[in-house]
Amino acid sequence: MCKKVTNIRDIAKLAGVSVATVSRALTKPEVVRPATIEKVKRTIAALDYSPNAVASSLRRQRSDNIIVVVPNIHNPFYSGIVQGIENIAHDNGYKILLGETQDNQDRLDRYTAMIASRGADGLVLLGSLLPTVVRESINAGKESPVPLVLACERFDGLLSPSVEIDNVAASRLATEHLLGQGHERIGTISGPSANTLSVDRLQGYRAALRKSQIRFDRQLVVEGDFSIRSGYQAMLQLLALNPPPSAVVCANDEMAIGAQKAARELGLDMPEDLAVVGFDDIRFAQYAVPPLTTIAQPTIEIGETAMRLMIRVLTASVAPGERVVLPHELIVRESTGRRLSTAPPRRARPTRRAKS
């Protein structure tokens, strides 16, 4: 079991050079004579040596690990972002470690603690939960105690850089799409109000109504928690209203999919009886029944931008509070349709795309 592993000294000895030279051959080849490098490389291959990253971390006082924390790994929306982060991280010699919080503060704090204990150099946060130490720093008016970048969420008072789309504008766009189709009684299934992202989306919805001079009706807003089930329940609640809405804007696709099920169970035809809009354009969106009109976010690019920001944070070259806003896009599918037309749109219509 415990056969001794080779270390840099073994390589040095066998290659007939000093440990310093082996180290240099591996990390700064440009300062070592090619012939020496060759000799070292051969020895390394022969002994199947692999450098001890832990020792290296200890010595260099950095791990080159970045922790990325997502609320739920199964949320399809995060997948693209993580991918983008990985891309840039890899190109710059960083490794990314993924953590899942399940919206559990304790787990988030545990991942965050890896930074204090030098297991990682920085934290990229997706989702709306903040580590306790970070929250305390906000209250104290200080900057984050850990190198931090927020991808897809924003926190008032926090000076760490963030990447996001303009959620207000995106949600307004979605709502205006419905207004443009003649809908006047439009409901919304919002996200948790503790969440800036939810607040922004709700605000966009209200802004669109206001611009069309439609009175805001509290009853038409039901709060969900981004889960499929909560969308289902929220839709039941909306459809129990008298009169019910003819269209509903959902703060994410999962809730929209739950909402569609509720409408279907009540015998409503979509989009004729009820139009539904989602948010995120997850992979399941185009397989929803009917396929979901939604807002697409540039997930890969969000991830790439977040990681670039992280690199700048680690090299102390980012302005505190820097915010990057990326463009969104309205994807029109069959869950919304011309309300006023006589021939209701049918399935198998090709997907159209409208630049935001």
Partner DNA sequence: GTGAAAGCGCTAACAG
Partner DNA sequence: CTGTTAGCGCTTTCAC
Distance of CA 318 to the CA centre of its chain: 21
Per rule CB under 8 A, count of chain residues that contact its own copies:
52
Q: Which of DNA, its own copies, none does 287 bind, CB closer than 5 to 8 A by kind? A: its own copies
For 230, the token pair is: 């909560």
Alpha helices (H) in the chain, listed in sequence order = 8-15, 19-27, 34-47, 53-60, 76-91, 105-116, 132-139, 167-180, 196-211, 228-239, 253-265, 299-314
Tokens 């995120």, residue? Answer: 280
Candidate residues 14, 21, 89, 191; the one interacting with DNA per rule CB under 7 A: 21
| 114 lies in the binding site for DNA (CB under 7 A) | no
Candidate residues 20, 116, 210, 351; the one interacting with its own copies per rule CB under 8 A: 116
Q: Which of its own copies, DNA, none does 82 bind, CB closer than 5 to 8 A by kind? A: its own copies
From 67-75, 173-181, 194-202, 236-244, give the range in contact with its own copies by CB under 8 A: 67-75
Give least dist CB 16 to DNA, A.
7
Give least dist CB 43 to DNA, A.
12
Q: Which of residues 231-290 bind its own copies (CB under 8 A)?
A: 232, 257-258, 260-261, 264-265, 283-284, 287, 289
Candidate residues 21, 43, 65, 190; the one interacting with its own copies per rule CB under 8 A: 65
Distance CA 304, CA 287 (A): 27
Q: Which of DNA, its own copies, none does 33 bind, CB closer than 5 to 8 A by kind? A: DNA
Q: Which of DNA, its own copies, none does 16 bind, CB closer than 5 to 8 A by kind? A: DNA
Residues 6+ apart with CB under 8 A from 121: 62, 63, 64, 65, 66, 94, 115, 147, 314
Tokens 């056969």, residue? Answer: 3
Are residues 96 and 65 in contact, defined by beta-carbon separation less than 8 angstroms? yes
Q: How many residues does the chain have?
A: 356
Give least dist CB 36 to DNA, A.
3
Distance CA 277, CA 270 (A): 11
Distance CA 123, CA 313 (A): 10
Are residues 153 and 127 in contact, defined by beta-carbon separation less than 8 angstroms? yes
Taking CA atoms, 333 is separated from 183, 250, 252, 339, in Å, by: 17, 15, 15, 14
Q: Which of residues 46-75 bind DNA (CB under 7 A)?
A: 51-52, 55-56, 58-61
Query: Per-residue x/- marks for DNA, 22-51, CB under 7 A?
Result: -xx-xx---xxx-xx--------------x
Pick from 353, 340, 311, 347: which is nearest to 149 by CA? 311
Q: Which of DNA, its own copies, none does 36 bind, CB closer than 5 to 8 A by kind? A: DNA
Residues lying near its own copies in the complex (CB under 8 A): 1, 50-55, 57-58, 63, 65, 70, 72-76, 78-79, 82-83, 86, 90, 95, 97-100, 102, 107, 110, 113-114, 116-119, 228, 232, 257-258, 260-261, 264-265, 283-284, 287, 289, 316, 347-348
